[in-house]
A and B are shown apart, each in its own frame.
Chain A
């Protein structure tokens, strides 16, 4: 649908090889503005297939304590929308890994939706995920995003009704992001028992790849999800590692997830 986005191509390539996508999230500008670009490069080299780059917002009401903290720190450090777009431009000088800008609506509305989409595309973004713009909430604004050529990544929740899923799948491009449980972002010790059957049903019902996120925090959990979904999103656990142990540890953590996923899904093994 969106010829310029790298996301469908990446998922198509993975599917043809029977592999699963690893999708890390990081908050841009955390812990400081200088860390983000080298970190993105490190994550891409460690086996990330799609990068979610968070534009911090003062009131992250869908996020748990880890992403809240990283968002407040990033804002304290001076992170702005233009600064995040600059980071993306710098990353694009060396890497073609697909990037999704992940944020809340208000910074985008304030920047100007059309201007944001145009500048994001120019900077090298492939998609945008707006946590507080659910399907159908603002058709005019949603159309402005999708017509810009960016993939508008849609979230599905365990509470989303089956009739609504069809509508969301019809509107979405890129991939669908399935929220593994009700709640905010944040690491959890266990995944819900129902998750596997929900994802199986969802993948049967929709034509797009399905990535699963929220609460995935260990290599074992990443492997478990890789066995059932097209992609694995990891956010809070990665940001927490970055916060506690620094960028190198974060990259090593992601590499561990990659290896666990490759073990779990034989086609996922890469020659490295």
Chain B
């Protein structure tokens, strides 16, 4: 059984998802749903997207066997799906290219996006440069500070970066501001949302653009090992790399799907971003999903050392996968993620993104449960170049 067959026709995943947005956006969402449905059926669209993914993004990305890390895990074999080797350094480009093509098809000339770590902002700015689209990226003021390198990259690519000072000055507020822009300029603007969040059709469309991650992994692991993995593991902020990896495996009951959230300074401190592990259902950014909120239904501030996971919501399909028991979600602290960041750099010569380091840290602890059970696959969703300055600062190191 695939996810499509379980999806309600209204863009819901069980009780999650939907379109809880201001009236002004409804027509644009209808238009987008139609354009996406048509594009999906259009062989030319598929061929152009495929060509770009191969010649511009660098797909397929390798499935790499991480021998030295495997020894630490004590189970496996352990494989990394190398999304960090994509153009711009993370999985985000799969979706940005797909939506930019769709935008061009709809005849819109202006793109807006939100970004946390800056990876989606860079990917969107890149796609906009490639397709000559006007690009504005909203980014929380706190994230502008901790991801300065990506801010400069976006500017080099010709995008305008708008620091968002309201609320918690992070991804949540950048998303609010992007939606406000879209409500205002909806007639000539497309919003390239950066994760499997937001109103329908975004969660399913972004998932589909990233599903190439899981599709490639599936055929690569079958070729390498002759069997499906015992588990696939991915970090979850909004949850786009995880959803792209999980999607083609949802029907394979023998494959465990494990999402790793940010436990920040520890679940017990309240300073974390573990939405699925500790949240309750609510409505944020246009969808019903699990949400970090207080006793009066106000959205609670999230915390993570990693800007990309620092988000109090999560994609509605993950909420559904959690409730149905098909996927399970765990959480890893800032400290453990930082330790994994350092360890993986030395063991494998791969500096992972801080977001990805959460998944690395969890996989490190999976040995006892998974010994003798077959291959384990980690979605190595992004590279850590962007995090180097921030890591040096939080660990008290000096660069140079």
Q: Are B18 and A59 in contact (CB under 8 A)?
A: no
Question: Nearest residue in B to A75 (C-beta to C-beta)?
Answer: B298
Of A106, A154, A158, most B-chain CB atoms within 10 Å: A106
Q: How large is the interface on A (under 10, 10 to 19, 20 to 34, 35 or more residues)?
A: 35 or more
- With contacts A105-B20, A105-B283, A137-B18 taken as known, whether A58 is within 8 angstroms of B298 at the C-beta atoms is yes
* Chain A CB within 8 A of B111 CB: no
Nearest CB on B from A134, distance (A): 5
Q: Are A107 and B296 in contact (CB under 8 A)?
A: yes
* Chain B CB within 8 A of A201 CB: no
One of A134, A154, A161, A179 near B21 (C-beta < 8 A): A134
* Chain A CB within 8 A of B204 CB: no
Tell which of A35-43, A108-116, A190-198, A257-265 binds the partner.
A108-116
Q: Which residues from chain A contact B25 at a C-beta distance below 8 Å? A: 159
Q: Are B186 and A182 in contact (CB under 8 A)?
A: yes
Q: Which residues from chain A contact B173 at a C-beta distance below 8 Å? A: 59
Inter-chain residue pair count (beta carbon < 8 A):
115
Q: Which residues from chain A contact B186 at a C-beta distance below 8 Å? A: 159, 182
Q: Are A132 and B298 in contact (CB under 8 A)?
A: no
* Chain B CB within 8 A of A183 CB: yes
* Chain A CB within 8 A of B286 CB: yes
Docked CA distance A133–B166 (Å):
24
Q: Which residues of chain A from 97 to 154 have any CB-CB distance to chain B below 8 Å in the complex? A: 104-111, 131-135, 137-138, 154
One of A81, A107, A157, A161 near B22 (C-beta < 8 A): A157
Q: Which residues of chain B from 174 to 201 have any CB-CB distance to chain A below 8 Å in the complex? A: 176, 179-180, 183-187
Docked CA distance A159–B185 (Å):
11
* Chain A CB within 8 A of B26 CB: yes
Docked CA distance A80–B28 (Å):
33
Q: Are A159 and B187 in contact (CB under 8 A)?
A: yes
Nearest CB on B from A246, distance (A): 24
* Chain A CB within 8 A of B210 CB: no
Docked CA distance A80–B173 (Å):
21
Nearest CB on A from B256, distance (A): 32
* Chain A CB within 8 A of B353 CB: no
Q: Are B27 and A160 in contact (CB under 8 A)?
A: yes
* Chain A CB within 8 A of B97 CB: no
24 A–B contact pairs at CB < 8 A? A59-B173, A61-B183, A72-B166, A75-B298, A105-B20, A106-B291, A106-B297, A110-B280, A110-B293, A132-B22, A134-B22, A134-B23, A137-B20, A137-B21, A154-B23, A156-B23, A159-B26, A159-B27, A164-B26, A164-B27, A182-B24, A182-B183, A183-B24, A183-B180
Q: Which residues of B contact A (CB under 8 A)?
A: 18-28, 166-167, 172-173, 176, 179-180, 183-187, 280-286, 288, 291, 293, 296-299
Shortest Cβ-Cβ A-B pairs, 4 listed: A110-B297, A107-B297, A183-B184, A157-B24
